[in-house]
Structure 1
Amino acid sequence: MQNSSRRVIVLGGTGFLGRRVVRRLQRLGCSVSAGTRTPGAAAPTEWEPGVAQVALDLADQSVMARALNGNGWVINCIGFYTETRQQSFQDVHLAGARRIARLVQETPGQRLVHISGIGASLHSPSAYVRARAEGEVAVRSACPDAVILRPSVMFSRDGAFFGDLQKIVEHLPVIPLFGTGRTRLQPVWACDVAEAVARVLDGPRAQRKVFELGGPDVFTYREILQRLAARSGRRRLLLPVPFVLWRIAAALLAPLPHPPLTPAQVALMRQDNTAGEGMAGFNDLGISPQSAVAMGLL
């Protein structure tokens, strides 16, 4: 990595993926700052000393310009899964992403990595999924050299995704399925996604502009639950539940401060979440992604 590019800001740097990206870039020798709406909060334990937390406000051009100033790379890891009265999916994933891309394009020598997700579609009935796709279009238009990474559903060693499902398996004798449970997923280790960011920054490998990042294993949702139940020695009844009922449940839970189910999650479970044929992926970045099975998580 050139010296001029060693200063990096990770937007959403205290989030699930962002804090892993910060840690990986620190180990790469970058000077890393973390953009967050709540600077001053306790730093994630996995960070090494020296990470500055920088205030973000996606709606404020001057705040965002100050945050991005002086960095060679901008990594947009901001994720937003539940709309509020103050912010919509369009505010964050479209308008916010466009503002970031324009600021990067206007800054000589600055580069952008934009984190989206597999399944983003302009034709989706889901406001969340559409906003992610519209954000990609806006980023490409405003900043043609931006690199877009689309991870599949991400898991971690400390419980995210598989651990959350394991709790359901342990406590519910009857487990409701999304539809018939046949949605195909390609879970990816969050640290592998962070490594993909590092490879984009650290070398000439990123000749392609869009990468779809899925792990080495593909399972249906039903198969994942069956494997978790077998792993824990429990017999569980898997009950198909129509998506219309899931949408109703998500709508009823939406007013809660931290809803256990969101319309965005329901929408994502309606379609396969696997890397597309012919898309650039981990192999193009020289990465062999970790298997959740080999890691003992599934």
Structure 2
Amino acid sequence: MTAVDTGKTVVVFGGSGFLGRYVTRALARRGHRIRVACRRPDLAYHLQTAGKLGQILPIQANLRYRWSVDRAVENADHVINLVGILSESGKQSFDAVQSFGARSVADAARKVGAPVTQISAIGADANSASKYARTKAAGEQSVFDAVPNAYVLRPSIVFGPEDQFFNRFADMSRFSPALPLIGGGTTKFQPVYVVDVAEAIAATVEGSVEGGKVYELGGPEVLTFRQMMEEMLRIINRKRRFVSIPFPMAASMGRFMRFLPNALITPDQVRQLQNDNIVSEAAKSEGRTLDAFGIRPRSIDAILPSYLIRFRPQGQFTQPQPQAGGLDAQDQEGVV
């Protein structure tokens, strides 16, 4: 069924990324006109099939250049900022992207009178030892300072077909006899499906939830890092040893790896892993979770097989075995 054109223009910063493609699709289904603001609009044409002809328009914008942000939000009815980075690279620093960038978007939206939806992350904390978490918190505060009725959404780790978590470790398991567990793999996460997060973001444009609040988005399960690895290995039908790496050793490794392209871990990420990444009890008791959006979150067990199947030894022709999973480093047998 074709959605009726609402006449509303929604600007999505970072709309060409992993989460952005699902947000764009969710907005298009609701009949909004989407302006995708990204650094490389020539790499955003895959979004055109998410909507009708002319409904989705990629436009060049860089959060480090305020004039480009102002141009992108002209005549906008709602502004969504998805931009964030997991590690710093060159001019793309945490301060520039997650603090200064968020403030630029919020200020530009305020000038045109548009509501704002800011995507942050569970763990955002002005007093955190992690620079990632501190700049996420600074970005949230800047948004509320500029637009007090803004929506701030903090998802836990987001999974889906293009994610850089399960895909990365599943790919690693194809060649490596062991998988690392930073800090013993005891850090807790609440993985949330990318489509569920996108639907929540699209709901803020509809005004179906109250603004001026921080919503924490998590899936139906709380799992340790190790449990997520075990589930991933079960689904791809592989057995791999687990090697526990203490936090101090992981931090030292990260200091060396940060100079390498696509580093597995950075010192700042090690600091993040020392804290659980789950929905807080306060958010649950105050109704600031996916329940507020009327969304029933989907589990990793329901979704991972749909896209990790390609990492099985014989692809979709391999049936998962109940005993597949991880082994402790001292185990000597059963490694594929």
Identify whether the pair has TM-score above 0.5, normalized to the shorter chain: yes
Q: Which amino acid aligns with 2:125?
A: S
1:53-202 alignment to 2 at 5 Å? Answer: 53-108=58-113, 110-158=114-162, 160-202=164-206
1:243 corresponds, among 241, 244, 247, to 247
Give the aligned length: 297
Match of 1:28 in 2: 30
Mean CA deviation greater in 115-124 or 219-228: 219-228
Match of 2:303 in 1: 295
> What is the CA–CA distance in structure 1 between the aligned matches of 2:124 and 2:177, rounded to whole Å?
34
1:247 is paired with a residue of what secondary structure? helix
Q: Which amino acid aligns with 2:200?
A: A
1:258 is paired with a residue of what secondary structure? coil
Off by >6 Å, runs of 4+ in structure 1? 2-5
> What is the CA–CA distance in structure 1 between the aligned matches of 2:105 and 2:236, rounded to whole Å?
45
Match of 2:312 in 1: none
> What is the CA–CA distance in structure 2 between the aligned matches of 1:87 and 1:294, rounded to whole Å?
35
Mean CA deviation greater in 207-216 or 222-231: 222-231
> What is the CA–CA distance in structure 1 between the aligned matches of 2:58 and 2:232, rounded to whole Å?
38
Q: Under a length normalisation based on structure 2, what TM-score does the superposition of the two structures give?
A: 0.81
Larger relative helix fraction: 2
1:248 is paired with a residue of what secondary structure? helix
Indicate how the Cα distance of structure 1 residues 260 and 179 shifts in structure 2: closer, same or farther if over 3 A, else same: closer
> What is the CA–CA distance in structure 1 between the aligned matches of 2:208 and 2:171, rounded to whole Å?
42
Contact 1:74/1:113 (8 A) holds in 2: yes
Unaligned stretches of 5+ residues in structure 1: none
> What is the CA–CA distance in structure 2 between the aligned matches of 1:35 and 1:105, rounded to whole Å?
17
Q: Which amino acid aligns with 2:50?
A: W
Match of 1:272 in 2: 276
Q: What is the CA RMSD across the aligned residues, in angstroms?
A: 2.3
> What is the CA–CA distance in structure 2 between the aligned matches of 1:94 and 1:158, rounded to whole Å?
26
Structure of larger gyration radius? 2
1:130 is paired with a residue of what secondary structure? helix
1:18 corresponds, among 14, 17, 20, to 20
Q: Percent identity?
A: 34
Please state how far the C-alpha of 1:73 moved relative to its aligned partner: 0.5
> What is the CA–CA distance in structure 1 between the aligned matches of 2:136 and 2:291, rounded to whole Å?
24
Q: Under a length normalisation based on structure 1, what TM-score does the superposition of the two structures give?
A: 0.91
